[in-house]
Amino acid sequence: MATSPNHEQIDRLSSLPDELLVIILSFLPISTAARTSVLSRRFRHLFDAVWETSPSLELISRDFPYRRTSAARFVKMAEQTLLRRSLSQPLLSLRLELDRYRKFSSSESELSFLPSLFIKARSLGVRQLTIEGCGFSPSCRTLPLIFSINSLEFLSLPRVGICERDEFLFPSAVALTNLKSLSMEYYIGDPFRLNRLLSQLCSLEDFSFELGNVPSFSLFNKTIRRLKMILSGSTKNNTVMLTLPSLELLHVQYDGVFGLPHIYGDMPSLKKAVLNLSFLRKKDCSAVAGLLTFISHAKELILLLKENDDEMYPFPILMKQGKDMPNFPDLKNLNVTMCFHKYNFKAIVMLLRHALALESLKLIHKVSLSKSRTCARFVNDWRSMLPRNARRVFYTNLHLGQHSKEFMKLVGKQCSTQVVERHH
DSSP 60-78: EGGGSPP-TTHHHHHHHHH
Task: Classify 407 as helix, strand or coil.
Answer: helix
Q: Report, as an integer, the average pLDDT of 213-234.
A: 84
- Give dist(CA 254, CA 276) in Å, integer: 6
How confident is the model at residue 105, as a pLDDT? Answer: 45
Taking residues 266-284, report their average pLDDT: 93
409 pLDDT above the threshold of 80: no
Give the span between the Cα atoms of 92 and 174, in whole angstroms.
Answer: 20
pLDDT exceeds 90 at position 8? no
Range name among 164-178, 269-283, 362-376, 391-405 with the lowest pLDDT average: 164-178
Kindly give the pairing relationship between strand 360-365 and strand 392-395: antiparallel
In this structure, are residues 115 and 140 in contact, taking their beta carbons and an 8 Å threshold? no
Give the per-residue pLDDT at 164.
44
Cβ neighbour number for residue 102 with a 10 Å cutoff: 13
Residue 209: its pLDDT value, please? 87
Q: What is the CA radius of gyration of the chain?
A: 27
Lowest mean pLDDT among 44-48, 108-112, 302-306: 108-112
Query: Looking at residue 149, what is its pLDDT?
Result: 92
CA distances from 44 to 36, 38, 158 (A): 7, 7, 34
Q: Of the spans 15-19, 67-71, 198-202, 272-276, which averages the highest pLDDT?
A: 272-276
Distance between CA atoms of residues 298 and 65, nearest Å? 50
- Going from the C-alpha of 287 to that of each of 48, 238, 240, 272, 341, the distances in angstroms are 56, 10, 11, 19, 20
- Residues 131-189: tens digit of each pLDDT: 887 555 555 567 788 888 999 999 998 766 554 444 445 666 788 999 999 998 765 55
Reported in sequence order, the residue ranges of 11-163 that DSSP labels E, i.e. its strands, are: 56-60, 93-97, 128-132, 154-162
Question: Strand locations in 25-176, DSSP E?
Answer: 56-60, 93-97, 128-132, 154-162
Q: What is the rounded CA–CA span in Å between residue 50 and residue 219?
A: 43
Task: Kindly report which listed range (103-112, 113-122, 249-258, 316-325) carries the lowest average pLDDT score.
Answer: 103-112
Q: What is the pLDDT of residue 163?
A: 46
